Amino acid sequence: MQTEEFTLVRDMLRSFAARHRVGCADEAEPRSRRAAQRALDELGLAELRRGSPPAATVQECALLAEEHGRQPLTTSLLGTALLAPELLRLLGTTAASRPTIALGRDLRFPGPPPSPLAAWDCEAADCALHVAPDGTVRQVALGPPAHTADLLRAVYTVPDADGKVLGRLTPDAGRRWQAYALVVVTAELAGAVDAFVGLSTDYARDRHQYGRPIGSFQAVRHLLADARVLAEACTSATRYAAWCLDHEPADRALTAARVAKAEVNVSAVEAVYAGMQVFGGIAQTWEHVAHLYLRRVLVGAGLLATTADLLPALADPRPATPADGPSVRTAEDIPAVAAEPETTR
């Protein structure tokens, strides 16, 4: 995509996000969610990766995911507009319906059958695509809604994983699919963390205590400085992984994507915790926007793969195969809830 074209697309997404962001959890009601999703669909972002070659690079898609993460939005950009179209492109097929992606019930990469599934990020979706460890892709139906700690993300159960077989990913395509999914999810988290650290910094300038802005106190400065370093680490690792998908072989791209997700899983949680401390008690209230960012990051830290899943895969010197997905744990009876935050570096 030409620079001018991408700038226009990103500006349109920014304008959309500013109009449809929610200011508190109570604003995320069904009518506003449907209106926001229709407005996002009108931007045509689902077409960015459908062509051959795609109109947008992975780096450009990652930057758009960052922008989407900066605002508390109820819309499905990742599942229906970025991940599902990319999976269909790698398969060399199309779908008449509007799919999202199906993950394990614990919202990680699916394990071997008969692991239960959940359809993730599926606002306005009517089916989901399930990638088995052997690369087989099935189209599965959606069941009733499921609940997660992320109040803004639509998640549905998948009652039956034995859907229509659409094809099978080659080993190279399987690695690229995993890397792309990790990069896009990580990019949205990086955008959310960067925005939240910015919000907490602005609050530290405005909030006065003892006649001075709290940002003038050394302890608060240290918190914000550490949070900014962590946010920049998330952005740097993610953008490098996106670059690798555009320029490097699949195995190296998957390694970079795993490194980025492992970094963000830890750094994003620590940075948001620091921002929550700067906000103080007001951030604990239902009406404040802070907990919406916190919930998204906590769920995102366990999404697709946790750091505990990723580190053994990164330490293994053997070449990756499609069956070597970063998720090594199945989820027979685990509800679709956020994983425990990872705060050990």
- Six-digit token pair at 231? 């946010």
Q: How far is Cα of residue 229 from the mean position of the Cα atoms in its chain?
A: 21
pLDDT in tens, 18-33: 999 999 999 999 999 9
The pLDDT, as a whole number, for residue 112 is 83
Better-scored residue on pLDDT, 114 or 27: 27
Total structural domains within the chain: 1
User: Is residue 16 included in any domain, yes or no?
Assistant: no
Q: How far is Cα of residue 21 from the mean position of the Cα atoms in its chain?
A: 17
- Give mean pLDDT, residues 115-121: 92
Q: Do the beta carbons of residue 205 and residue 231 sit within 8 Å?
A: no
- Give mean pLDDT, residues 5-9: 94
How many CA atoms are closer than 13 Å to the CA of 65, on its beta-carbon side? 30
pLDDT in tens, 320-342: 554 444 443 333 333 333 344 44
CATH of the domain at 271: 1.20.140.10
Q: How confident is the model at residue 111 (pLDDT cuts 50, 70, 90)?
A: confident
What is the value of pTM for the model shown? 0.90
Better-scored residue on pLDDT, 316 or 103: 103
User: Is residue 309 included in any domain, yes or no?
Assistant: yes
DSSP label of 21:
-
- Give mean pLDDT, residues 174-199: 97
Q: How confident is the model at residue 94 (pLDDT cuts 50, 70, 90)?
A: confident
Neighbours of 219 (CB within 10 A): 10
The pLDDT, as a whole number, for residue 96 is 72
Q: What percent of the chain has pLDDT over 70?
A: 92
The pLDDT, as a whole number, for residue 49 is 87
- Six-digit token pair at 56? 């947008």
- Six-digit token pair at 132? 């088995």
pLDDT in tens, 201-248: 999 999 999 999 999 999 999 999 999 999 999 999 999 999 999 999
User: Is residue 100 included in any domain, yes or no?
Assistant: no
The pLDDT, as a whole number, for residue 128 is 96
User: Is residue 113 included in any domain, yes or no?
Assistant: no
- Give mean pLDDT, residues 303-314: 93
The pLDDT, as a whole number, for residue 320 is 53
Name the average pLDDT for the chain: 90
Q: How confident is the model at residue 317 (pLDDT cuts 50, 70, 90)?
A: low
The pLDDT, as a whole number, for residue 29 is 93
The pLDDT, as a whole number, for residue 161 is 84
The pLDDT, as a whole number, for residue 331 is 34
Structural domain span for residue 278? 172-315
- Give mean pLDDT, residues 296-318: 90
User: Is residue 14 included in any domain, yes or no?
Assistant: no
Residues 6+ apart with CB under 8 A from 186: 234, 237, 238, 241, 257, 260, 261, 264
User: Is residue 262 included in any domain, yes or no?
Assistant: yes
- Six-digit token pair at 286? 């239902």
Q: How far is Cα of residue 65 from the mean position of the Cα atoms in its chain?
A: 8
User: Is residue 107 included in any domain, yes or no?
Assistant: no
The pLDDT, as a whole number, for residue 318 is 64
- Give mean pLDDT, residues 173-180: 96
User: Is residue 205 included in any domain, yes or no?
Assistant: yes
Q: Which of 106, 2, 87 is nearest to 46 (CA)?
A: 87
